[in-house]
Amino acid sequence: MKKVLLLWFLLALCIEAKDYTKHPQTIALMKTLQKKYYFSATELHTLFSNVKVQKSALRAFTPRHKQKKRKDTRTPAQIEKSKMLQKKYGSWGRYSRHVVSSKRVSQGIAFVKKHATTFDNVEKEYGVPKEYIAAIIGIESAFGKNVGKYPVFDTLVTLAFEKNRRNRFFQKELMKFLHLSKTEKFNPKNVKGSYAGAIGLVQFMPSNYNAYGVDFNKDGRITLQRADDAIASVANYFKKNGWRKGEPVATRVKYEGTRFNKHKTGYKHSYHRQQLKGISPREKWDYPNKVRLIKLNKKKYDELWYGAKNFFVITRYNHSSYYAMAVHQLAIKIKAGLKQ
């Protein structure tokens, strides 16, 4: 009990309540909200006068050289275990072993079956396979089990007005979030999300909520905490970013050697396959367009893949080749499980 009380005390010390109503940039933003979105001065004063500063969120967007050096509190055994894991798995293995786990696959299969009608209807309307939609939701929020514990309003205010490298971005997201609270009729103080202010099963930032959110159940609100709206919103995101119905995503290829450095790899670089001498798919792959070379670093070798246009589309959700490959591999396993 004493340890629990001490933990709560330490957490309380880390959460500083602050009045932002006299902050020059906040004043300007409140004036815009009154003029553009019809907020009253009273409700804005209530919102901004008592904000809990989210210091842990702020640290994520503060340049490392400006952060106070934090003492490594790990035991020698924990440090040694960390080093052992790095050597054992390689960077891809360390990244993927939790993201594309057997537990995540079984959860994905159950999630698709539970919402089968919605997935079928969304796939017909948007042309995006259900397994890729499910994989995104699985990686982003563990199918709704982890949508975030940060108060979104307080987090966005902290990141908008406390000095960090993305103040302007978060000021725009704060504006979008408050506008959403009007159009979708919710109390902005009651929404929880990620350390960056991302919301719901799909972890959309407020601006993406506006751009890609879908009211699929036709209840007059876009609610990304609900599976039906979340499923359709992922599909809409993919479609608007260029998803090509019926085309492949990626295939593993072979090359000479164990480490690959012949060409630049990653989703930013594309090639005609004629340029890639000595590289060929391990299985038949009838895809005539340009490909990306995706390299997965493992302990003893580099695993190499071709990524098609649809692979690139997945990177629009998160600008990482490893993320997109995790989505692809999780999707393939969910699809296989659904056939059993």
Q: What is the pLDDT of residues 93-125, one digit of tens each?
A: 999 999 999 999 999 999 999 999 999 999 999
pLDDT on residue 75 = 74
Q: Given a cut of 90, is residue 8 above it in pLDDT?
A: no
Q: Given a cut of 80, is residue 4 above it in pLDDT?
A: no
8 Å CB contact between 302 and 260: yes
Q: What is the pLDDT of residues 197-242, one digit of tens each?
A: 999 999 999 999 989 999 999 999 999 999 999 999 999 999 999 9
Return the amino acid letter for 136.
Answer: I
As a whole-number percent, the residues of the chain with pLDDT over 90 amount to: 83
pLDDT on residue 78 = 67
What total number of domains does the chain contain? Answer: 2
pLDDT on residue 73 = 65
Residues 169 and 212 occupy one common structural domain: yes
In this structure, what CATH number is given to the domain that contains residue 168? Answer: 1.10.8.350
In a domain, 106, yes or no: no
Residue whose token pair is 């009990």? 1
Q: Given a cut of 60, is residue 1 above it in pLDDT?
A: no
Q: Given a cut of 60, is residue 2 above it in pLDDT?
A: no
Residues 57 and 192 occupy one common structural domain: yes
Residues 256 and 215 occupy one common structural domain: no
Domain edge (last residue) among 207, 223, 239? 223
Residues 151 and 268 occupy one common structural domain: no
Residues 150 and 215 occupy one common structural domain: yes
Q: Give the Cα separation of 317 and 333 in Å (integer).
A: 20
Domain edge (last residue) among 223, 242, 258? 223
Give the count of beta carbons closer than 10 Å to the beta carbon of residue 30: 21
User: Which domain does 24 fall in, by range?
Assistant: 18-61+146-223
Give the count of beta carbons closer than 10 Å to the beta carbon of residue 186: 14
Catalytic one of 140, 162, 247, 283: 140
Q: Given a cut of 80, is residue 330 above it in pLDDT?
A: yes
Going by pLDDT thresholds of 50, 70 and 90, the confidence category of residue 90 is confident
Going by pLDDT thresholds of 50, 70 and 90, the confidence category of residue 11 is very low
Name the residue among 242, 219, 238 with its Cα closest to residue 229: 219
The pLDDT mean for the chain works out to: 91
Is 123 a known active-site residue? no
